[in-house]
């Protein structure tokens, strides 16, 4: 293997690492300052590069936005994957509330989610494929966890797990939109807990809430 090949691979690895640092820095800025209020120069400074260097990796702020959303979806999926395999139905519903509380720690990312989800409705949008994959994987994973809980006897038999999963995700996402529109005055975690409590009374064998 030639030294030039080593050089290309080394340069590629450096580029991937720098790209990841840019996304992480942007996620922090967007989460706490908001997308529109964050200048690319501030993100570049956080990484120790120029704005031109940042634009070498991401052609525009919108491209960086999509990368941040993908980063958020990956982190969220990793968080849910840490739920124990023997988690009961009540545990899963409580995890939904906990996930919402985590989102509220990064309010700017809730705004980003609402902003990009609206754009994703356009099949020609770059966000469309990202959100389509996110929704499918999120529904599949939550349905799988509920089905496993049903096998353990902590979710009622014959529960339509995919339908419940789809409803829970739809309500959570819809409430995030209402939270943004309300200027953050809506009790988002409380609203998600109220819905999860209603679902609990429907699918848990003891008929009890959270």
| Side-chain half-sphere CA neighbours of 18 within 13 A | 18
This prediction has a pTM of 0.80
* C-alpha–C-alpha distance, residues 133 and 4, integer Å: 38
Q: How confident is the model at residue 6, as a pLDDT?
A: 47
Sign of CA dihedral 204, 206, 209, 210: negative
* C-alpha–C-alpha distance, residues 48 and 70, integer Å: 23
Are 137 and 77 spatial neighbours (Cβ–Cβ below 8 Å)? yes
| Side-chain half-sphere CA neighbours of 10 within 13 A | 6
pLDDT in tens, 138-152: 999 999 999 999 999
pLDDT in tens, 45-90: 998 989 888 888 888 888 888 888 888 888 888 889 899 989 999 9
Q: What are phi and psi of 153, to 5 degrees?
A: 85, 10
Are 164 and 138 spatial neighbours (Cβ–Cβ below 8 Å)? no
């Amino acid at each position: 293997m030639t030294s030039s090949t080593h050089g290309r691979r080394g340069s590629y690895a450096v580029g991937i690492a720098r790209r990841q640092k840019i996304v992480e820095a942007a996620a922090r800025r967007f989460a706490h300052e908001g997308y529109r209020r964050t200048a690319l120069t501030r993100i570049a400074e956080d990484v120790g590069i120029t704005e031109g260097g940042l634009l070498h990796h991401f052609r525009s702020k919108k491209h960086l936005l999509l990368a941040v959303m993908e980063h958020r979806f990956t982190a969220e999926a990793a968080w849910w994957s840490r739920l124990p395999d023997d988690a009961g139905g009540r545990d899963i519903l409580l995890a939904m509330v906990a996930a919402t509380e985590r989102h509220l720690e990064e309010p700017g990312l809730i705004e980003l989610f609402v902003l990009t989800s609206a754009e994703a409705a356009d099949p020609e949008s770059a966000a469309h494929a990202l959100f389509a994959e996110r929704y499918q994987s999120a529904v599949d994973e939550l349905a799988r966890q509920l089905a496993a809980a049903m096998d353990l006897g902590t979710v009622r038999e014959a529960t339509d797990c995919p339908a419940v999963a789809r409803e829970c995700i739809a309500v959570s996402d819809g409430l995030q939109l209402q939270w943004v529109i309300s200027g953050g005055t809506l009790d988002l975690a409380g609203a998600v807990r109220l819905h999860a409590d209603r679902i609990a009374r429907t699918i848990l064998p003891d008929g009890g809430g959270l």
